[in-house]
Amino acid sequence: MVPKVVQDAGYTAVGLGVLAVQQLQVRRRETRARLAAHTHAARETVSSVGGIVTATAQPVVAQLDRLPRLPGPLGSVVETGRARLQDAVRN
């Protein structure tokens, strides 16, 4: 037979292990909830900044569309920039 002291120590060790696992689960849930809140706030911030950037860029795209097409390398650079800006505004 196992002495009572050893048996009690075993039960205590198992109990402490169970408490540790439960504490980890609680902290994991709390961390997940905090992370979800931060993620939601970050998405809202990105969305609002994206709206501001789009609203600011649209008049620039409109002005670029009204400019005459330039020949040569300079025209190529302006066209590339205009196309990239329009893609960014659409996305």
The domain locations on the chain are: 4-90
DSSP letter for each residue of 17-63? HHHHHHHHHHHHHHHHHHHHHHHHHHHHHHHHHHHHHHHHHHHHHHH
Average pLDDT, whole number, for the chain? 88
Residue 54, pLDDT > 90, answer no
* pTM above threshold 0.85: no
Q: Tell me the average pLDDT across 61-85.
A: 83
Q: What is the pLDDT of residue 18?
A: 96
53 — phi, psi (to 5°)? -65, -45
Chain segment 12-45, per-residue pLDDT in tens: 999 999 999 999 999 999 999 999 999 999 999 9
- Calculate what percentage of the chain has a pLDDT beyond 70: 99
